[in-house]
Amino acid sequence: MPATAPAPVSICVYCGSRDGNDPAYANAAEALGTAMAARGWRLVYGAGDIGLMGRVARAAQAAGAETFGVIPGHLLDLEVGKRDVTRFVVTETMHERKKVMFMNADAVIVLPGGAGSLDELFEVLTWRQLGLHAKPIVLVNVGGYWDPVVAMVEHVIDQGFAAPSLRDFLTVAGDVPEAVAHIAAWRTGGA
């Protein structure tokens, strides 16, 4: 019986359904999609074809990566569901979308985004704090975008609402190469 190829490393990417005001955000999304493909990693994301979501997916596809998109039915039109991904899943609810994305990923990378990205980030951070998973969570801090969130996490710790270990569950990367290097090191046991 021939050996089967191992499944690709799957990275769940949370990011905005808009481009944001700084062109560096779009550049980072495209760079991440390309870098993931170069490493043979699979993109797991929200299946939208707009904003940073669309940019990371199109870049990953153009560079040959597998893409796994998950979108709730009520957002198919609003987020322009990208049906040409390797695997396209339509869920009934946002909760189900987040669960399917997370369960099909080995790690999480968070690009700039809005309320939805914050929701996704804090959900997986809370799950990590509760010991429900040990997946790395990496913030790509494009132009200091995530600095207020990092400060808020420090504030939560300083005010006694979380143990100092909470900060250890987040890795803050200054750019896409640093984020990708962190995941690669983690995969080989070096992070």
Structure tokens at 143: 């132009």
160: in domain? yes
171: in domain? yes
Q: Residue 185: pLDDT above 90? A: yes
Angstrom CA distances, 48 to 58, 73, 111, stand at 10, 12, 15
The stretch 98-124 carries a mean pLDDT of 97
CATH number of residue 76's parent domain? 3.40.50.450
What are the b/e assignments for 32-47, b being 16+ CB within 10 Å? Answer: bbbbbbeeebbbbbbb
164: in domain? yes
Which pTM does this prediction carry?
0.93
The total number of structural domains that make up the chain? 1
165: in domain? yes
44: in domain? yes
Q: What letter represents residue 35's amino acid?
A: A
For residue 124, the enclosing domain spans: 10-185
With cut-offs at 50, 70 and 90, classify the pLDDT of residue 75.
confident
119: in domain? yes
77: in domain? yes
Which residues neighbour 4 within 8 Å (Cβ) at sequence distance 6 or greater?
none
43: in domain? yes
pLDDT digits (tens, 9 = 90+) for 19-71: 999 999 999 999 999 999 999 999 999 999 999 999 999 999 999 999 999 99
